[in-house]
Chains A and B, each alone.
Chain A
Amino acid sequence: MKPTATKTAEANPAALDRILTAEEELLPSSGFLASVMERVQEEAAAPPPIPFPWKRAIPGILVAAAVLGGGAVELIRHVLSGASEISLAPPQLPAVVARPLPSVGWVALALGASLLSWMLSHRLAGRSGLL
């Protein structure tokens, strides 16, 4: 990081090493320290972030989970009962109705993807101090 005597790349071995190592050192501007400390003091004076109200949210989350779970069970039941009827149905029915099981797979996949994205966003928000 020290400024070094510049020599031509052509005249010396390991020119790339020398060029990339020999950089002039930048000095911080006069207000840099004060600027950083001002922001630090602002953050130190700010009230701590409000934690997520888990106690209040948990009943709602449980109800939502129960509704979603119930809905998923009903959906699977509906699809399965539909599948038994469809086995007797004429072959020109739409493919989605005639082959319900792959649809269940897709629904499960979508639910799984939603859950994963929720977990990921929660984790990221937690890391960045938003929660």
Chain B
Amino acid sequence: MSPNSTSATEDLADVERVLAGDAAAFAGIVRRWQSPLINMAWRYCRDRGRAEELAQEALLRAWRGLAQWRRESSFSTWLFALAANVFRSELKRFPTVNLPLEAAPEPSGPASQHHALAEKSSQDVVRRAVLALPLRYREPVILFYFHEMDLAAAARTMRLPEGTLKARLSRARALLRRRFPHLEDEQEALGFSIATPERRPNIEAHRN
């Protein structure tokens, strides 16, 4: 049995136990999904403490709404979609402070990037610039890269058609490249390199 199917079986068994009244069985679900959810939340807010709060809220909503999982989609699809909703609404209520896209500083030039720290810093600037995108474009970028460039998985999480997501992603990438023109020459002309299974590390492999 593959790790994915093992996990799916474990998720299903834990859900059944929780629905039968065994609240402690939810610990298995938390153990398997805490890390992906925290990392997903981190991409939404880039604040470690806030990411844990958001992940905790998503898990609690999952706990309350377990009976609403219809088994038509996998548990992970349902959980990520629920979490995305929670993160979106919580961050609307209490937004993180982000610079506007124009205010994000241009990463320093290659000459100063010999140092690993400078390079990491310039990459962080690009990552943080994602949070300055309009929400409509921000979330597709966050989820596309969270799902390691799996367009279909990101579309399922956002509950959007793949075409719509692809269009928004294209616009978001254009905005980012306009802000960081040094990236422009290096992009494959707006082609999305959709990850193949062997290229895409599985999220579930990163669970605790």
- Which residues does A use to contact B, with CB under 8 Å? 1-2, 6-17, 19-23, 25-29, 32-33, 35-37, 39-41, 43-44, 129
Residues of A within 8 A of B148 (CB): 1, 21
Size category of the binding interface on chain B: 35 or more
Q: Report whether B63 and A40 are in contact in the complex, using a CB–CB cutoff of 8 Å.
A: yes
Residue among A15, A35, A43 with max Cβ neighbours from chain B (10 Å): A15
Closest to B182 in A: A10
- Interface residue from A13, A16, A23, A40 paired with B60 (Cβ < 8 Å): A40
Residues of A within 8 A of B31 (CB): 33
18 A-B residue pairings within 8 Å (CB atoms): A6-B116, A9-B183, A9-B186, A13-B188, A14-B186, A14-B193, A20-B126, A23-B145, A25-B206, A26-B35, A28-B52, A32-B34, A32-B52, A33-B30, A35-B56, A37-B24, A39-B56, A43-B60
Add 5 more A-B contacts to A9-B182, A11-B110, A26-B42 (CB < 8 A).
Answer: A2-B201, A20-B130, A23-B145, A33-B30, A37-B26
For residues 173 through 208 of chain B, which have their beta carbon under 8 Å from a beta carbon of chain A?
173, 176-177, 180, 182-183, 186-188, 193, 201, 203, 206, 208
Residues of A within 8 A of B145 (CB): 17, 20-21, 23
Output the least CB separation between A42 and chain B (Å). Answer: 10
Report the bound CA distance from A6 to B118 in whole Å.
11
Q: Report whether A36 and B182 are in contact in the complex, using a CB–CB cutoff of 8 Å.
A: no
Q: Report whether B126 and A19 are in contact in the complex, using a CB–CB cutoff of 8 Å.
A: yes
In the complex, B16 has a CB within 8 A of chain A: no
